Structures are given as structure tokens and as C-alpha cells.
Amino acid sequence: MVSELEFEELSRRAEIDGTAPRVGVIIDRGGQVLLLARHDTGPIKATLKLPGTTVLPREPLAEAVVRGVHEETGLAVTGIRHHVGDFDYLSPDARPVRRLHFAVDVAATEPIRLSVHARYVWAPLDGDLPVTSSIRRILENYRNLVHP
């Protein structure tokens, strides 16, 4: 399980580096991970994403993880097992963001109730996933962590 000290250190590093923290979450169901799809309104097919959210001001990372999973999927987090990795990027308004990724346990993997996404898929970890290269690296880190 991720310790309170590790959460504090991750938050402190993001603050020192001047990045706004976001969380991304890996929910594993027997070797398949939950990926979400945005509503597709343009000619370019959007990639799938992991559930996640923006960390609110003064919100502890663990609370953001629990809140983000519940808001986006309706699932209840019962434990945060691993910090899997992170990456930095620029938001659409050119602000630096750090997306911190955690593997979690949930009470049940169904039913999923989407709030802002068009659909979801349970995708095999060993498949060729339609995700960004950054998310692919996070999923590889996770795969190496739990299936060495």
C-alpha cells in the first residue's frame, strides 16, 4: 500500500516543480485494465485514457484518487496499492501538469456508471492498447510491477 509519507513526498515534489497535480488510476480486473473513451466528435479517433481527475487545492492525493474513480466510474476504491509512475505535460492553456498514476483495489468492478465519458473497455494488459505513449509507459511499469 502507498504510505502517507509517499503521498506527501509526491505532492511536495509537484509543488516544488511548479506543476499542477492530476491523478490517473489503474483498475485491474484479472489482467485487464479499465480504459475510458471520450465522446468522439471529430475526424481524429481519440485515444483511450485511464480514469483520473485534477487534484483540488489542498486536497490530499489519496482523496483525489478515491474521488476521481468514483466520479468517473461510480466504483469505490478500497485501497491504493502502488504509485506506478508519472509524467509531465502542458495543459491546453499551457500550464505545467504532473499526472501521478496509482494502482488501486475496488470493492467491485461492476457496475460502471460513466459521468463524462462515452464508453469504457476492459483491455488486456498484454494487448496493443490505443493509448498515448505516456500512458503506454505507465501501463508497462504496472505490468512489470505486478507480473515481473
When computed from its CA atoms, the radius of gyration of the chain, rounded to whole angstroms, is 15
- pLDDT, residue 127, reads 80
pLDDT at 129: 87
Spans in the chain with pLDDT lower than 50: none
Q: What per-residue confidence (pLDDT) applies to 76?
A: 98
Q: At 114, which CATH number? A: 3.90.79.10
Predicted confidence at residue 42, as pLDDT, reads 61
Count structural domains, the chain: 1
User: How far apart (Å, rounded) are the C-alpha atoms in residues 7 and 87?
Assistant: 16
pLDDT at position 53 is 97
Q: Tell me if the pTM is above 0.75.
A: yes
- Please tell me the predicted confidence (pLDDT) of residue 47: 83
Cell of 24: 490517473
Q: Interhelix angle for 4-16 vs 61-73, to 10°? A: 90
DSSP code per residue over the chain: ---HHHHHHHHHHHHHTT-EEEEEEEEEETTEEEEEE----SSSPPPPB--EEEPPTT--HHHHHHHHHHHHH---EEEEEEEEEEEEEE-TTS-EEEEEEEEEEES-S-----SS-SEEEEEETTS---S-HHHHHHHHHHHHHH--
Domain hosting 87: range is 4-146
| Percent of all residues in the chain with a pLDDT value above 90, rounded to a whole number | 86
